[in-house]
Amino acid sequence: MSKLKFDVPGVTLSALPSGLEILSVTNKFASAKISTNGAHIISYVPAGEKDLLWVSKKSHMTPGKPIRGGVPVCWPWFGSSDKQGWPGHGFARLETWEIAEAATLDSGATRVVLKLDSSMREFPMSGFPFTLHMIFTVGSTLEMTLVMVNKGEKPVTVGCALHTYFAVSDARKIAVSGLDGIGYFDYRVKTTKFDGNVQKGDLKIAEEVDYVYFPAPGATEIVDPGWGRIVKIEKSGSESTVVWNPWIEKSKVMPDYGDEEYPEMVCVECANAKCDQRVLQPGIPNILTQKLSLR
Ligand code: TA6
């Protein structure tokens, strides 16, 4: 169990029977749960609201396995690896991160910082020395900042994403706005080109959706009439936005995803994916942020 070196009001560390460590955060604005496995937030509940995040009832909740929901931190690649047997979406979400800091801010929000550093142990899939910090600010909004530093001598190219699973009343009745007129890769066919796909108006979900929008530097919103709410997703350090819902057939082939769960969620991901990968120059931090709020 990580040693929680700080006595911070509203922050407690516990472990599931599987050994999965969970940091629980409660303050006047919201409550949250963050697993040290992957620096993976699995719940963010603003006071008086429903959880903004969704987790499959069939998700693994075991150290070293990906959690199906919340906000997986995909790093240092997005999507499948070109290396045989390497995990999809990088290794960072499978590793136990260290709790570097927990503090109450003057605003009353809570900051939690988790760290993954190549000096901690061997990371055979990384190929270069690195430091990652995942900074959560849990308040009336949820801010997430991924700071990545290449500690090597040569530039390296990485892909990454804050792969957020949003809870919705019914994915068949929501709209995702903010992508109008933007081209997208249709990842369902694993295309490597735009193929002329351009978003017209708000995105609605009536089939499997797995689109990588680029260039998409702006904010998006999930308009959810069923729950009478709009979730705003603001970001920086990202020019690609990924939207995913597995729909019926894909839901059936994922062991950690219920066959009937696809109406409950939509992924809207702030990413450096595909042609938006980033070159990490030695020693220079690269930062990806997202801010989630209810409008
Ligand atoms: O972000 C969309 C996506 O790349 C989909 O293609 C699907 O694979 C999803 O991520 C989930 O990936 P995972 O490796 O967590 O099963």
Dist CA 198 CA 187 (whole Å): 14
178 located within any domain: no
Residues lining ligand 1, CB < 6 A?
Answer: 66, 79, 88-89, 163, 187, 210, 242, 244, 267, 269
30 located within any domain: yes
23 located within any domain: yes
176 located within any domain: no
Domain that holds residue 68: 11-170+213-294
19 located within any domain: yes
Evaluate whether 31 touches 25 at the Cβ level (below 8 Å).
yes
Cα 26 to ligand 1 centroid, rounded to whole Å:
30
Query: Is this prediction's pTM over 0.85?
Result: yes
5 located within any domain: no
The pLDDT, as a whole number, for residue 196 is 87
Dist CA 22 CA 180 (whole Å): 38
192 located within any domain: no
The pLDDT, as a whole number, for residue 130 is 98
Nearest atom in ligand 1 to the alpha carbon of residue 87 is 14
Dist CA 118 CA 124 (whole Å): 10
Q: What is the largest CA-CA distance in the chain?
A: 54
In this structure, which long-range contacts are made by residues 248-253, counting pairs with CB atoms below 8 Å and at least 24 apart in sequence?
248/208, 249/208, 250/208
pLDDT per position in the chain (295 positions), as tens?
555 556 899 999 999 999 999 999 999 999 999 999 999 999 999 999 999 999 999 999 999 999 999 999 999 999 999 999 999 999 999 999 999 999 999 999 999 999 999 999 999 999 999 999 999 999 999 999 999 999 999 999 999 999 999 999 999 999 999 999 999 999 898 766 778 899 999 999 999 999 999 999 999 999 999 999 999 999 999 999 999 999 999 999 999 999 999 999 999 999 999 899 999 999 999 999 999 999 8
CATH number at residue 255: 2.70.98.10
The pLDDT, as a whole number, for residue 2 is 55
Structure-token match 């009745």, residue found: 173
Extract the runs of DSSP E, i.e. beta strands, from 62-129: 73-74, 98-104, 110-117
195 located within any domain: no
Q: Which of 133, 163, 221, 264 is catalytic?
A: 163
Total domains present in the chain: 1
